[in-house]
Structure 1
C-alpha cells in the first residue's frame, strides 16, 4: 500500500482539513481562491479509495472558506466559516449547492469552527471581529457571544467538557471560558493566560526589541490534549509551539522549536497523549512528542518532518480510526496529502 495519496484542489488554496468522525475514509477540506485574499471559496468532501482520493461533493461559496468542522449530530453535515463573516451548514446528501443553514452575525472573517464533542448539540466559531459565537444547528440565531476584544484566529471546545471553550488571539493570550459560571462582567472568562513569556529561537532577532526583551506575537492556533484535560498546545508567529497546563499557567510546560516560520495549525494525536502535529508557513508538517511518554522523561522533540508541500502548510489532522500513523495535510499549493507518518520518523 502506498504511504501517501494526493488530491489537487485546482484553482483553490487549502486552509483546513478534517477527518470525519463517522467514516475513516472521508475528509473535508476548506479552500479559497486567490489564497483567500479575494474571490470564492469551496468546501470539498473527499473519499479515500484503494485507487486514490476522489471527490464526493463540493460546495461553492461567495467568499473564502477558512475552516470546517464535521457535525457530531449528523454524519453528512459540516459547518464552515467564511471570509464574509458568514457561517454555513452544508449537507452532503442535499441536492444543489446551497447550505441547509446560513448565519451571518460576525462582522469580520470567520477563521475557526469547532463542534462540541461532548453534548454534540452545539458548535463554536471565532472571528477577526474579536468574538466567539456559540450556535445550535437547529436555531436561526446564535446562542451566545463571548468577547475576546482581539482578532481571534482559533477557538475550540474542550474534548473533556461540554461547557469549556478556549481561544487564542492576536494579543497572544489563551482565553478559557466556562459556560457554567455566572455571566456577570467576565462573560464566563475564567482564565487569561499570556503565551509570550519565553524567548524566541536562540540567535534570532524575531520578537525582541532593542533591550532584547521578548515582545508578544500573534497566536494563530491551539488545541486541547485528548488525554490530559488541563493541557493545551499553542503556536503562532514566533515559530515556537508551547504546551501549557492550566493548573500552572504562569509559564509553558514545554517549548518545541524547529519551524522556521509561523506555526499555522496544531493537532494533538487522538491515539497518543504525548504526540502532536503542526503545519507551518515554512511548508513543513512536523510530528512532535512533548516527552511525557518517555521513561525516564526525555526532552520534547520533533519525531518526523514531511516536506512535500511547496507552499504554506495550513491544515493538519489525524485519522481517528485504525492505526495511529495516518494523517492529512493541506496547503496553499492546492494539494491535499493523506500520508503515513512512519517513513518520515527519525531513528
Structure 2
C-alpha cells in the first residue's frame, strides 16, 4: 500500500486520470469542510510511493473533482461557495481558468461525461439543482434540472447513454435525467434515508448502485425498480461513496463514515461481502478504481491521507477478469 499525507487538509474526493495511469487528483478541505479554504492536490504514483505534482488552492472547501475526458491537463472541482473551478495543470499560474458560479449553495458533485458524443460537466448542489455545463462555451450553464426535494449529493453521467445522468439526494431518491428533454426519466425511492452516492455499472446500462445513510447499498435494475436486485449490508455508519469495478461486472466498492472500505460481489447471494479494509482513522470520503491498472484502488479520508492499493480479494484469479 502506498500513502500520501497532506497535513491540515481533509480528503473529500479522489479520481485517477483517464489518460495517465499514475496520475491522480484529490479534492480537500480545511477544518473538515466546515470552514476555511480548499486545495486541489495533483499527485503522481511512483514505484515506491506517491509524490506531489501540484497544489492548487481555492478560497472555500473543495468537495469533488473530475478529470476532463478530452484534455489530460484539465480538471473541474466543486466548491463550498457554490462555484465550479476549471483548472489547467499545465498553466504556470496557480488559479482556475474559469469559475462557473450559478449554484446558490455548496457544489457537492461534479462529473465529466464519458460518451464520445458530448463534452459536458454535470454538477449537483445542496441547492437541490443539477446543472449541465460545456466548459468550452463560457461561464453559463446549458440547463438546470429540478425535481429533487432535498440536497443533491451525487451526479454521475451514464457511461453508455449520451445525455443521461443519475443523481442521488437527501430526499431518499435516485433519479435518472435526460438532458435533451430537460426532464427526469425515472425517480426511484431508493432508501428511507439520505442517499449520498450512486454509480453506474460499466457493463450494463440498466444497472445502478446507491449508498445511503441507512448503511446499506442497493443495486437497481432500471427496467424494474420495485425491488433492488441486491441489498448489501455490513457498514455500521453512512456510506459516503460507491464505485463499480471497471474490470468485473458484479464487483463494487464502498467507503463509509465507519472508517472502512468494503468490496462486494452482488451476484453472490449468500456472501456478497468480499473484504473489509480498515486502514483509515477517520471518515473515508473518496474512492476510485484505476481504469488502466486492473483492480488497483485509491481512496482518501478525513485523516489527511490518500492511499493506493490492490485489495487481496480482487487480486484472486477468479475476480481478475470480467
Please indicate the TM-score interval, normalised by the length of the shorter structure: over 0.9
Q: What is the deviation of 1:343?
A: 6.5
CA contact (8 A) 1:68 1:79 kept: yes
Q: Does 2:54 correspond to 1:84?
A: no
**Aligned partners of 1:161 and 1:33: how far apart in 2?**
37
C-alpha offsets along residues 13-42 of structure 1, whole Å, 9 cap, x if unaligned? 000010100010001001000000000000
List runs of 5+ in structure 1 lacking aligned partners.
Answer: 182-186, 197-215, 292-296
Alignment check: 8 A CA contact 1:40 1:61 kept: yes
Task: Tell me how large the CA RMSD over aligned residues is.
Answer: 1.5
Contact 1:304 1:345 survives alignment (8 Å): no
Aligned pair count reads: 314
The SS at the match of 2:20 is coil
**Which of 244, 249, 255 matches 1:268?**
244
Alignment correspondent of 1:133: 131
**Is the CA contact (8 Å cut-off) linking 2:247 and 2:295 kept in structure 1?**
no
SS in 1 for 2:136: coil
Aligned twin of 1:35? 32
| Conserved? CA contact 2:2–2:48, under 8 Å | no
TM-score of the aligned structures, taking structure 2 as reference length: 0.95
2:278 matches 1:307: yes
Match of 1:123 in 2: 121
Question: How far apart are residue 179 of structure 1 and its match?
Answer: 2.5
Change (3 A) 1:302 1:345: farther
Instruction: Report the alpha carbon displacement of residue 51 of structure 1 after superposing the two structures with TM.
Output: 2.5
Distance, in Å, in 2 between the alignment partners of 1:91 and 1:262 is: 34
What TM-score, normalized to structure 1?
0.88
2:11 is the alignment partner of 1:14: yes
Of 313, 333, 336 in structure 1, the residue corresponding to residue 306 of structure 2 is 336
Partner SS state of residue 138, structure 1 = helix
1:223 aligns with one of 193, 199, 206: 199
> Unaligned 5+ residue runs, structure 2?
none
The Cα shift of 1:305 comes to 1.3
Task: Please give the alpha-carbon distance, in whole angstroms, between the structure 2 residues aligned to 1:313 and 1:289.
Answer: 20
User: Structure 2: how far apart are the matches of 1:300 and 1:126?
Assistant: 34
1:72 counterpart = 2:69: yes
Map Cα deviations across residues 172-205 of structure 1 (whole Å, 9 max, x no partner): 0011111244xxxxx4111111112xxxxxxxxx
* 2:175 alignment counterpart: 175
What SS does the aligned partner of 2:31 have?
A: helix
Larger Rg: 1
Contact between 1:254 and 1:300, CA under 8 Å: does it hold in 2? no
Deviation of 1:120 (Å): 4.4
Structure 2 residue aligned with 1:144: 143
3-state SS, counterpart of residue 279 of structure 2: coil
Return the alpha-carbon distance in structure 2 between the equivalents of residues 95 and 180 of structure 1: 37
Deviation at 1:251, TM superposition (A): 1.4
CA distance in 2, matches of 1:320, 1:306: 21
CA distance in 1, matches of 2:45, 2:179: 38
